[in-house]
Amino acid sequence: MRVVVIGGTGHVGTYLVPRLVEGGYEVILVSRAKRQPYRPHAVWSKVRRLCLDRAADEATGAFGPKIRDLKPDVVIDMISFTLDSTHHLVEALRGEIQHFLSCGTIWVHGHSVEVPTVESQPRRPFGQYGIQKAAIEEYLLDQSRRHGFPATIIHPGHIVGPGWVPLNPAGHFNSQVFATLARGGELALPNLGLETVHHVHADDVAQCFVNAMTCRSTALGESFHCVSSAALTLRGYAEAVSSWFGRAARLRFLPWETWRTTVTEEEAEATWDHIAHSPNCSTEKARRLLHYEPRYTSLEAVYESVQWLIEKQQLVV
C-alpha cells in the first residue's frame, strides 16, 4: 500500500515513517525539506521525498490535487491546523483513497468534566488551536459517518522524545527547570501543583497511527486519544524528576498571579495554556479498538528526552 505522509520529518514522523517502511508500506513523504528527522535510520533512503509547501499550494488550490496525483491508498495528515485546510484536502481525495488519518490534539476537550476524559465527552475547546482542531474533528467524523469519507483522527498529548525539550514540571518548556531540580534548587509551582499534564512518547504516537491503519474497519469514523497510561500532577512530576536526579524536591507553591511574575511572559503563557486544560485522558478506547499499548509511561518518556539533552550538552546538570 502506498502511504503519503504530509509533514513526516517532525516529532511523530521520525518514528512513524520507519515503522511504516518496516511494515512493508511504500511511503511518500511531503514536506518543505527544511528539516531532517530527529534520528538517523536506514529506511529514510527508501522513502520518496516530495518538496511541497502546503500553505503556498493551498493558496493556489493546487495542494489537494498534487496529493491526489500521487495515487495514495492512505494519506496521513500530520499538519492540518484549520478547517479550511482539511476541507481542501478532503475535497481532492474524496472517492480516491482507502484511509485518511488526521493528527488532532487532546486540546479539543477544553476543560474536562469526568476524568480520565473519554473521547465521547462533549467538546468545549478554548483557544484558536483547540477550537480549529475540534472543528476539523467534527467535520471529519461527519464526512466519515454520513458521507463515507474514510477518516480517523488521532489526538496526541504532549509529544516527548529525544531531540527536543519536553514539557517540564512547571508546565512550560524552559529546560532550566530540570537543571534546578537536578541541583536540589527550589522550584516554585503555581497553585497547589495539582493541575495535570499528559505526555506521550512520539514513538507511541507512531504506534497509534500504524495500528489505526491495521485496524481500519474499527478506526473509520472514530477519534482516539493517544497518550501515556496516566497523566502527571505538576507536583508529582517535579518530585519524581528530583528523585531521578537523586535529590529531594524543594517545592514552593504560589498563587497564580504571584507565580506568573516569577517567570517570563512566554513561560507564563505556556503554563497557563497547560494548566487551564489540565488534561487527563483515557486510553481505553484506543486500547480496545486499536490494540494501542503505550510503551512509555509519561516519566519514562521524559527521562529519555532529558537524558538526550544532557548527553548533547544542551542541559548542564
Ligand X SMILES: NC(=O)c1ccc[n+]([C@@H]2O[C@H](COP(=O)([O-])OP(=O)(O)OC[C@H]3O[C@@H](n4cnc5c(N)ncnc54)[C@H](OP(=O)(O)O)[C@@H]3O)[C@@H](O)[C@H]2O)c1
Q: How far is the CB of 206 from ligand X (least distance, A)?
A: 9
Kindly determine how many residues on this chain lie close enough to bind ligand X according to the rule CB under 6 A: 23
C-alpha distances in Å from residue 234, one per residue of 45, 190, 226, 246, 251 = 41, 9, 20, 18, 11
- Beta carbon nearer to ligand X, 47 or 249: 47
- Beta carbon nearer to ligand X, 108 or 187: 108
Does residue 78 bind ligand X (CB under 6 A)? yes
Q: How far is the CB of 241 from ligand X (least distance, A)?
A: 18
Closest to 200 in 3D by CA, of 313, 286, 72: 286
Spatial contact of 2 and 26, defined as CB atoms under 8 Å apart: yes
| Torsion 11-16-22-28 (CA) sign | negative
Does residue 54 bind ligand X (CB under 6 A)? yes
Spatial contact of 302 and 160, defined as CB atoms under 8 Å apart: yes
Does residue 105 bind ligand X (CB under 6 A)? yes
Assigned C-alpha cell, 212 = 489505526
Q: How far is the CB of 7 from ligand X (least distance, A)?
A: 3
Alpha-carbon gap, residue 178 to 250, rounded angstroms: 13
- Beta carbon nearer to ligand X, 34 or 146: 34
- Beta carbon nearer to ligand X, 227 or 315: 227
Mark residues 124-163: x for contact with ligand X by CB under 6 A, - for none: --------------------------------x-xx----
Does residue 55 bind ligand X (CB under 6 A)? yes
Q: How far is the CB of 298 from ligand X (least distance, A)?
A: 13
Look at the block and give the residue holding cell 493541575. Answer: 195
Question: Binding ligand X by CB under 6 A: which of 79, 115, 179, 215?
Answer: 79
Q: State the distance between the two ends of the chain, measured CA to CA, in whole angstroms.
A: 47
Closest to 306 in 3D by CA, of 178, 136, 208, 159: 178
CA 193 to chain centre: 23
Does residue 31 bind ligand X (CB under 6 A)? yes
Alpha-carbon gap, residue 120 to 117, rounded angstroms: 8
Does residue 11 bind ligand X (CB under 6 A)? yes
Q: Which of the stretches 32-40, 171-179, 210-218, 276-284 binds ligand X when contact is defined by CB under 6 A? A: 32-40
Does residue 33 bind ligand X (CB under 6 A)? yes
Q: Which residues bind ligand X (CB under 6 A)?
A: 7-13, 31-35, 52-55, 78-79, 103, 105, 156, 158-159
